[in-house]
A = this chain, B = another copy of it.
């Protein structure tokens, strides 16, 4: 019996395009099918796109004569160009560097809009081999002690008076700690931080690629000020620091600087053994409208 593909892996299906790019250093191109099931606020979630680009980068060596590529994303930086929508997408890769221990791949995702190819996301990815990493732990951030998931609040439990922002909220099982949902009760006195448990609801275990989805899966931390609505990502960089163990992941999101129409969001993700497995930071535009409860 073969295990059916998880919902997440289905969304990450890449189909190689026959003719590889003629550009110098060009890597293979892929097509993908973006699904509205991953849409939030009318656009496909940026974390799903990040995972898709990370996967395309790690596969860029397979269909290319221009160099081999290491298997795991170590660092990925994505600049978001326009909102992605459900429908076909094309992903072009370029192998920028093919080295001994790391490779660098440029990845571009575009969709047809009014029949014109329109860039959605451009990313640079440094790939390496997480299993080959070596060296002691001199400092790592302690995993915050969170109340167990069943004492936390699922993001699908939309508070009264809130409209669900989109089907994406059902793609992940997110449990915000009681302290992280004070805003839903009109308490905006200690803003700036979310703590949560997170996993795929169908049991799909975490791996390096899925961490790229995880780092952009929570509501904007501006909710803690009572500033609701979409906070469009300008740039997002994620570092995968270790291969995650199976089970729940826990994460913390915070901002230090929410000013002049932009905020940065800092993300830390720990696996079920308490190991720091991913760090991410994004620059986002402040939400365009404010809805107070």
With most chain B CB atoms within 10 A of its CB, the pick from A255, A257, A258 is: A257
Interface secondary structure of A, over-half rule: strand
CA distance A235 to B122 in the complex (A): 16
Asked whether B77 lies within 8 Å of A237 as measured between CB atoms, the reply is yes
Interface window among A29-37, A159-167, A175-183, A276-284: A276-284
Interface residues of A in 4-45 (CB under 8 A from B): 23
Stretch in contact with the other chain, from A129-137, A197-205, A207-215: A129-137
Tell me whether B234 and A102 are in contact (CB under 8 A): yes
Tell whether, in the assembled complex, residue B126 and residue A234 are in contact, meaning their CB atoms are under 8 Å apart.
Answer: yes
Q: In this complex, what residue of B is CB-closest to A254?
A: B139
Residue in B closest to A227 when the chains form the complex, CB atoms: B138
B residues less than 8 Å from A134 (CB atoms): 260-261
Please indicate the chain B residues that have their CB under 8 angstroms from the CB of A242 in the complex.
Answer: 259-260
Which residues of B have CB within 8 Å of A75? 79, 234-235, 283
Q: Enumerate chain B residues within 8 angstroms of A124, measured Cβ to Cβ.
A: 77, 79, 122-124, 235
A139 contacts B255, C-beta separation under 8 Å: yes
Instruction: Judge whether B97 and A81 touch: CB under 8 Å.
Output: yes
Distance in angstroms between the alpha carbons of A173 and B23 in the assembled complex: 44
Give A residues with C-beta under 8 Å from B: 23, 74-75, 77, 79, 81-82, 96-97, 102, 104, 106, 108, 119, 122-126, 133-141, 191-192, 225, 234-235, 237, 239, 241-242, 255-264, 268, 276, 279, 281, 283, 286
* Interface pairs A-B: 7 shortest CB-CB: A77-B77, A135-B261, A75-B235, A137-B259, A133-B260, A138-B258, A81-B97
Known interface pairs A140-B259, A239-B264; 8 further A-B residue pairs with C-beta atoms within 8 A, sorted by A's residue number: A23-B23, A126-B234, A137-B260, A140-B258, A141-B256, A235-B239, A256-B279, A281-B281
18 A-B pairs (CB sep. < 8 Å): A74-B234, A75-B235, A79-B96, A96-B119, A104-B122, A126-B234, A126-B235, A133-B261, A133-B262, A135-B262, A235-B239, A241-B262, A242-B259, A242-B260, A257-B276, A257-B279, A264-B279, A281-B281
